[in-house]
Amino acid sequence: MRALKIAAAAEAVTLALLLLNLVTVHAPELSSLLGPVHGTAYLITIAAALSTISTRARWLSLIPGIGGVLVLSRRPPAG
C-alpha cells in the first residue's frame, strides 16, 4: 500500500501542476518534465491497485488523476 500512496500523491500533484502550467505560462519545458512523471505515476498506481481486494477499486484506478486517491479511500482501515 505504501507504493500506492506515493504513486497516487505523485499522480494528483503532477496533474495539478500540468493543468496549472497549461492555464498560466504554458512552458513546454515544464510540460516535457511533468508529463512523463505523471504518466509513470499513473501506471504505477494502476499496477499497485491490482493487489487490492476489491474489483471496484481496480476499475477506479483507471481514472486519470484521481484514481489512486479513490482506491485509497475504498480500502479497509488498517488494524
Contact call for residues 76 and 20 (beta carbons, < 8 A): no
Q: Please, what's the b/e burial string for 4-23 (b: 16 or more CB within 10 A of its CB; e: otherwise)?
A: beebbebbbebbebbeebee
The rounded percent of the chain whose pLDDT value lies above 90 is 63
pTM: 0.86
The stretch 17-44 carries a mean pLDDT of: 96
Mean pLDDT computed over 27-52: 94
Residues 62, 46: contact at Cβ < 8 Å? Answer: yes
List pLDDT tens digits, range 56-70. 888 999 998 899 999
pLDDT at 18: 96
Q: Is there a domain that residue 27 lies in? A: yes
Residue 50 lies in a domain: yes
Per the structure, the count of domains in the chain is 1
Residue 77 within a domain: no
Q: What is the mean pLDDT of residues 36-43?
A: 96
Establish if 78 belongs to a structural domain.
no
Whether residue 47 is contained in a domain is answered as yes
| Structural domain boundaries enclosing 25 | 2-72
